C-alpha cells in the first residue's frame, strides 16, 4: 500500500488505537476486540518490549483487516526496523527529519509529532502529508482550530489524552483522526481480560467519528 493510500485509510478510520506496554499473548485478543468495535487502525509503540515482533504478528494475521503502524519512533534507525517489520505508517512524538526521510524512501507514511507552527511548516516542507499534534490534550481542541487557520492544507492527527468526552471536539476543531491510548486500550482492562469493554469503547469512538462526519 502506498503512503497516500495509508493516509486515506487513516482519515476514513478516524481512530488509531495505540497499544503500549501490553504482552504479545494479549495482542491478537486486543486486535479482535478493536475490530469487533469497528476500529481497524492500530499502532504498537516502540517502547513496548518486543514491538517489532508484535508488528510482524499483526501484519501476518490482520494485514487484510487492519492498518498496522509503529509508534514512539524517535529516529531513522528505529523507523527502518519498523518498516522491515511491516509497519504501514510510523508515528513519532517529535519532528525528526531522519525518520521522515527514511519512511519516504520506502513509501511508508511518516506521522511526526509537532507542537508549534514552525515545526508543522518544517514537516510540510519536507514532504509530510499528515502531522501529529502532540500533546493534544494539553493544548486542547482550540489549538488545532488555530493551527488550521493559516495551515488549512495540513491534515492533523490529535494524540495525547484523547477520550470519549473530548474526541468530538477535536474532530470539530479540524483533526482528521486521533491516536487513542488508555482511553481505548487500557492495560488494566487487558490484564483483567475485559476485552468486551475495549470493543464497547471502540464502538463509542467510532460512533462519535461517524456522527461528526455527517455534520
Selected catalytic residue, list 43, 53, 77, 197 = 43
**Buried b / exposed e along 39-57 (16+ C-beta atoms within 10 A):** bbbbbbbbebeebbebbbb
For residue 43, indicate whether it is catalytic.
yes
132 is known as an active-site residue: yes
Comparing CA positions, the residue from 174, 171, 173, 159 lying closest to residue 207 is 171
Q: How far apart are CA 193 and CA 191, in angstroms?
A: 5
Most distant CA pair in the chain, distance: 46
Given a contact cutoff of 8 angstroms between Cβ atoms, the answer to whether 6 and 16 are in contact is no
Tell me which H or E stretch contains 158. Answer: strand 155-159
Q: How many CA atoms lie within 13 A of 66 on its CB side?
A: 31
- Which residue out of 8, 132, 191, 213 is catalytically annotated? 132
Q: State the catalytic residues.
A: 43, 132
Amino acid at each position: 500500500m502506498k503512503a497516500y493510500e495509508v493516509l486515506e485509510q487513516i482519515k476514513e478510520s478516524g481512530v488509531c488505537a495505540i497499544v503500549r506496554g501490553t504482552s504479545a499473548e494479549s495482542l491478537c485478543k486486543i486486535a479482535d476486540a478493536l475490530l469487533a468495535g469497528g476500529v481497524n487502525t492500530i499502532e504498537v509503540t516502540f517502547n513496548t518490549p518486543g514491538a517489532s515482533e508484535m508488528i510482524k504478528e499483526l501484519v501476518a494475521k490482520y494485514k487484510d483487516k487492519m492498518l498496522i503502524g509503529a509508534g514512539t519512533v524517535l529516529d531513522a534507525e528505529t523507523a527502518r526496523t519498523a518498516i522491515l517489520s511491516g509497519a504501514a505508517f510510523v508515528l513519532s512524538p517529535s519532528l525528526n527529519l531522519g525518520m521522515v526521510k527514511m519512511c519516504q524512501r520506502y513509501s511508508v507514511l511518516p506521522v511526526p509529532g509537532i507542537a508549534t507552527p514552525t515545526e508543522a511548516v518544517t514537516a510540510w516542507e519536507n514532504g509530510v502529508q499528515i502531522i501529529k499534534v502532540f500533546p493534544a490534550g494539553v493544548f486542547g481542541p482550540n489549538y488545532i482550530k488555530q493551527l488550521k487557520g493559516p495551515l488549512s492544507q495540513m491534515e492533523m492527527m490529535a494524540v495525547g489524552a484523547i477520550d470519549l468526552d473530548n474526541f468530538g471536539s477535536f474532530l470539530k476543531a479540524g483533526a482528521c483522526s486521533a491516536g487513542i491510548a488508555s482511553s481505548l486500550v487500557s492495560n488494566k482492562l487487558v490484564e483483567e481480560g475485559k476485552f468486551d469493554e475495549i470493543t464497547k469503547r471502540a464502538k463509542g469512538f467510532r460512533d462519535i467519528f461517524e456522527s461528526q462526519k455527517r455534520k
